[in-house]
Chain A
């Protein structure tokens, strides 16, 4: 019974695992679309941390914070993908290594 109880630190660690998978993706991937997806992964990990603390501290303010983070994530995705489209029109690539406009 006591061996299989979901402790708060387990939930926080799970969120940290997802966050660092997203961070690794931002560091190693070169496709800008996958980079944006990894940012969404990190935002989700933060949301889970907020919900965990909201439950643990019996305060619904954490779930309100999740609501606002979701709004910002939606706006960020819309603007970010608009930037990707504009970038692709100019450079015909989505590879971050090919974006060297300031080099010339």
Chain B
């Protein structure tokens, strides 16, 4: 892999640190802002891996749209501190979860270390992508040729999401007005 190791380890370390802060910070606003930093670190790693369109979408969709939605809801609820954190979860649960996930993680890392990525290589080599006109051009051509049906179906999914979100979030006030 032709990644710059210093930048990769810097961004990976930052992402892990901020991901831990998402989980461990008691204040959800602090968690949300840590999550924004994780998303930016991921965008940097995507850009280093020549996935420029994915890196741009990461910043626009995740760090932009989704996180604004999260922070907006946190502010909208205006929850006082005690209802946000009525106390930590049970100690036994925390220890069990930590042990279980770190065991699974060790298993995964061992498996990644001792197996090689094999499979049928595609045609999108670096030279071929350069010849088409860059990563964004190549991905876009693929999106509007081979993946046109799933791409169109995502619009249906997003429409269903919008309608569902409005219906769920508005139901209570509509019922109150009916009374």
Contact = CB atoms under 8 A, between A and B. Distances in A.
B169 interface: yes
A20 B22 CA distance: 13
Nearest to B150: A68
Contacts of A57: 117, 119-122
Interface in A54-97: 54-61, 63-64, 66-68, 70-79, 81-86, 88-90, 92-95, 97
B158 A94 contact: no
Contact of A55 (B8, B49, B58, B169): B49
A41 B1 contact: no
Nearest to B34: A37
Chain A facing B: main interface SS: helix
Nearest to B25: A34
Interface residues of B, number: 90
Interface residues of A, number: 76
Contacts of A60: 122, 124, 129, 138-139, 142
Contacts of A82: 164-166, 168-169
B46 to A, nearest CB: 6
B172 A89 contact: yes
A52 B49 contact: yes
A72 B101 contact: no
Nearest to B132: A60
